[in-house]
């Protein structure tokens, strides 16, 4: 059974349609990277999952519980870290995480262990007893994430959890997310940092204008929408080598390209193979009018 | 039900941890009426003598009006602090964080309101005790009846604070309205001046305010020597006010509404 099952979801704010016929599923242990430009509907989708916005059409179930019919029961399965940091600044980091564990129903005798493990995973041990108001933005964001994960919910919604954090913090967050997924948590991870999606080996759903523009694994998307370019450097008699760029279907085309040089082969002094990044795929799919005709 | 009670206990503890870090406003609103009592005691004594107010046997000290009146007035200034509990959560984005949990909004609001209720009761307790120790206030009636009047009025003020949160979109709207309301209600209710000295136009309006019933109930017990049955009507009216405010708050509260907290 999918932990999160979204079927034909449409959400509108007045006349503005924020989501249109969106469907997706997340299985236990799966990480779904939710990508899309600003205003694509990523946050609206997460808010709909916790019942904070009412869908105009479609259905959402969490662990088999229909969110519209039983929002409270469904929310019991969800940990949600919104994009905006939501912490209690006058409490310490430990108090924030401990109180949230208690509010989310972690049994009292398990709270110490759960809090300590979560603080440690997010590198918060040394600052655990400082009031959150005295912490840096990145540290506050880690406390914010820790509050969402401490109860080890079956479904975790993380909305841009690494905005404005340093590389070390980003690595800690990503490692924590990976560990949670390995332990069976289903994770919906919204981000603009595409390398994070690659690092998490996440399945990708790319939203654009409130609809699913494309979906698939990172490698699959690179194959479908990316391109490979082979740069050949050819020696010239009286000048610097010139570069010939050949766009090919993939690296496997290299022998054919090299053989195609014919009598110039002996003048080949170097070559590079350049593959599209996920960023380029993202730009290409999102850009208006450039969605390939075979896009699913 | 057991799970809800457990969560309510957790939320009350959580709210107390948040509030105990900054009790300065409550402290100020407890000290200020004591300072005013010291200044106004002779004035109240004279005023009550002129008006012929004799709430009980024995000589008038002025404390019969100063202590219950100023306690009621300054407790009303805490109404905006009740609303601030919820506006504060909007400012920290934690209101939405709470809403994304399995805790129902009604339970969340009730649990968070317990702490300001306790602080209001504590404020009254300190003021009445200080009134006795410092200004010779003598409670002739039942302490149980006094406690119930205080509790009913505190409930009424908490419900009014929640109503302020539900009805106002910004914290400035709420604090402005609460301060004006506190002064008007204190004046009309006989908390500022003895009821017998209220202007003619104000006297008929007085019973429409909870402060009137609170001052009346407190004075009935303190000076009139009333027991529980003697102030049952006052307690009943205050409970009705509390229920009315709570019902109105329930009708106006839109949990999904974005409130503006700091401007």
What pLDDT is stored for residue B122 in this prediction? 97
Structure tokens at A37: 């430009």
Is A242 in contact with A236 (CB distance < 8 Å)?
Answer: yes
Q: What are phi and psi of B18, to 5 degrees?
A: -70, -45
> B137: left (phi > 0), else alpha (psi -120 to 50), else beta?
beta
Q: Domain range holding B194?
A: 2-50+78-252
Instruction: Determine the distance in angstroms separating the CA of A45 from the nearest CA of chain B, rounded to an integer.
Output: 13
Please state, in angstroms and as integers, the Cα–Cα distance from residue A152 to each residue in A108, A149, A218, B154, following that order.
15, 5, 26, 40
DSSP run (H or E) holding A46: helix A42-49
Asked if B97's CB is within 8 angstroms of A80's CB, the reply is yes
What pLDDT is stored for residue B58 in this prediction? 62
Instruction: Determine the distance in angstroms separating the CA of B127 from the nearest CA of chain A, rounded to an integer.
Output: 28
Structural domain boundaries in chain A = 1-77+185-222+277-296, 78-152, 227-275
Number of folded domains that form chain B:
1
CATH number, domain A1-77+185-222+277-296: 3.40.50.300
Please state, in angstroms and as integers, the Cα–Cα distance from residue B178 to each residue in A234, B67, B117, B163, following that order.
81, 22, 16, 10
**Which of B23, B102, B115 should be substituted to probe chain A, the one whose Cβ sees the most A Cβ atoms within 10 Å?**
B102
* Token pair 């698939």: residue: A216
10 Å Cβ neighbour count for B255?
15
More confident residue, A204 or B54: A204
Q: State the fold for domain A78-152.
A: Helicase, Ruva Protein; domain 3 (1.10.8)
Asked if B22's CB is within 8 angstroms of A72's CB, the reply is no
- In a 13 Å sphere around the CA of A38, the CA atoms on its Cβ side amount to 1
Chain B residue closest in CA terms to A132? B92
Does residue B146 have a pLDDT over 60? yes
C-alpha Rg value of chain B to the nearest Å: 19
B157-192 tens-digit pLDDT:
999 999 999 999 999 999 999 999 999 999 999 999
Interface residues from chain A to B (CB-CB < 8 Å): 50, 52-53, 72-73, 75-76, 78, 80, 82, 84-91, 95, 99, 102-105, 147
Q: CB-CB: which of A53, A86, A90 is closest to B93?
A: A86
Asked if A78's CB is within 8 angstroms of B100's CB, the reply is yes
What pLDDT is stored for residue B57 in this prediction? 61
Q: Indicate the SS3 state at residue B247.
A: helix
Is B99 in contact with B255 (CB distance < 8 Å)?
Answer: yes
DSSP run (H or E) holding A20: strand A16-26
What pLDDT is stored for residue A210 in this prediction? 95
3-state helix, strand, coil in chain B (%, to 5): 75, 0, 25
What gap in Å lies between CA B166 and CA B15, rounded to an integer? 19
- Going by the DSSP 8-state scheme, the letter that residue A128 receives in this structure is T
B46 has a chain A CB within 8 A of its CB = no
Of B216, B220, B211, B239, nearest in space to B75 by CA: B211
pLDDT along chain A (296 residues), means of 10: 96 95 97 94 96 95 97 97 96 98 96 97 96 95 97 97 90 96 98 90 94 91 84 88 86 87 89 84 71 44
- Please name every residue paired with A156 in a beta bridge, in sequence order, or none if there are none: A79, A187
- Measured between beta carbons, the chain B residues lying within 8 angstroms of A90 are 18, 21-22
Q: State the fold for domain A227-275.
A: Ubiquitin-like (UB roll) (3.10.20)
Q: Indicate the SS3 state at residue B62.
A: coil
Does residue B103 have a pLDDT over 80? yes
What pLDDT is stored for residue A227 in this prediction? 82
What pLDDT is stored for residue B59 in this prediction? 67
Is B73 in contact with B182 (CB distance < 8 Å)?
Answer: yes
Q: Indicate the SS3 state at residue A65.
A: strand
According to DSSP, the β-strands at A4-13 and A155-159 are unpaired
Average pLDDT, chain B: 94
Chain A residue closest in CA terms to B88? A88
What pLDDT is stored for residue A288 in this prediction? 52
Does residue B72 form part of some domain? no
């Amino acid at each position: 059974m999918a932990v999160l099952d979204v079927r034909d979801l449409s959400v509108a704010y007045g006349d503005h349609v924020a989501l249109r016929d969106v469907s997706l599923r997340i299985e236990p242990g799966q990480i779904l990277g939710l990508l899309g430009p600003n205003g694509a509907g990523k946050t609206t989708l997460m808010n709909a999952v916790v019942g904070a916005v009412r869908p105009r059409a479609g259905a959402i179930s969490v662990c088999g519980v229909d969110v519209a019919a039983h929002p409270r029961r469904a929310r019991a399965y969800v940990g949600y870290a919104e994009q905006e940091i939501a912490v209690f600044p006058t409490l310490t980091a430990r108090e924030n995480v401990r109180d949230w564990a208690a509010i989310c129903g972690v049994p009292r005798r398990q709270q110490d262990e759960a809090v300590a493990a979560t603080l440690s995973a997010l590198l918060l041990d040394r600052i655990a007893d400082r009031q959150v108001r005295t912490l840096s933005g990145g540290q506050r964001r880690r406390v914010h994430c820790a509050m969402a994960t401490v109860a080890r919910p079956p479904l975790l919604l993380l909305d841009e959890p690494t905005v404005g954090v340093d590389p070390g913090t980003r690595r800690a967050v990503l490692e924590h997310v990976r560990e949670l997924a390995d332990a069976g948590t289903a994770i919906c991870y919204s981000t603009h940092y595409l390398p994070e999606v690659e690092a998490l080996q996440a399945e990708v759903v790319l939203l654009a204008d409130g609809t699913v523009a494309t979906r698939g694994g990172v490698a699959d998307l690179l194959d479908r929408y990316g391109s490979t370019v082979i740069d050949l450097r050819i020696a010239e008699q009286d000048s610097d080598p010139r570069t010939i760029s050949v766009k090919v279907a993939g690296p496997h085309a290299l022998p054919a390209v090299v053989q195609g040089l014919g009598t110039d082969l002996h003048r080949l002094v170097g070559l590079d193979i350049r593959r599209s990044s996920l960023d380029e795929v993202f730009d290409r799919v999102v850009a208006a009018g450039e969605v390939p005709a075979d896009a699913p | 039900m057991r799970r809800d009670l457990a969560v309510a206990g957790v939320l009350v503890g959580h709210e107390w941890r948040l509030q105990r870090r900054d009790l300065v406003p409550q402290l100020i609103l407890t000290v200020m009426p004591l300072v005013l009592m010291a200044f106004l005691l002779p004035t109240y004594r004279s005023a009550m003598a002129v008006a012929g107010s004799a709430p009980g046997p024995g000589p008038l000290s002025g404390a019969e009006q100063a202590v219950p009146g100023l306690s009621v007035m300054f407790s009303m200034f805490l109404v905006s602090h009740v609303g601030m509990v919820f506006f504060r959560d909007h400012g920290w984005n934690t209101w939405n964080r709470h809403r994304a949990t399995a805790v129902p909004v009604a339970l969340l609001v009730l649990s968070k309101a317990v702490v300001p209720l306790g602080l209001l009761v504590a404020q009254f307790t300190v003021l009445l005790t200080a009134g006795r120790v410092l200004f010779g206030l003598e409670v002739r009636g039942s302490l149980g009846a006094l406690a119930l009047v205080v509790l009913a009025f505190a409930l009424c003020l908490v419900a009014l604070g929640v109503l302020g949160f539900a009805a106002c979109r910004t914290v400035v709207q709420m604090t402005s309205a609460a301060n004006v309301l506190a002064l008007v209600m204190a004046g009309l209710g006989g908390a500022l001046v003895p009821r017998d000295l209220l202007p003619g136009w104000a006297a008929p309006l007085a019973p429409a305010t909870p402060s009137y019933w609170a001052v009346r109930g407190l004075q009935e017990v303190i000076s009139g020597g009333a027991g529980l049955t003697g102030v049952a009507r006052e307690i009943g009216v205050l409970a009705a006010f509390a229920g009315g405010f709570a019902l109105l708050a329930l009708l106006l509260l839109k949990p999904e509404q974005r409130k503006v907290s700091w401007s």
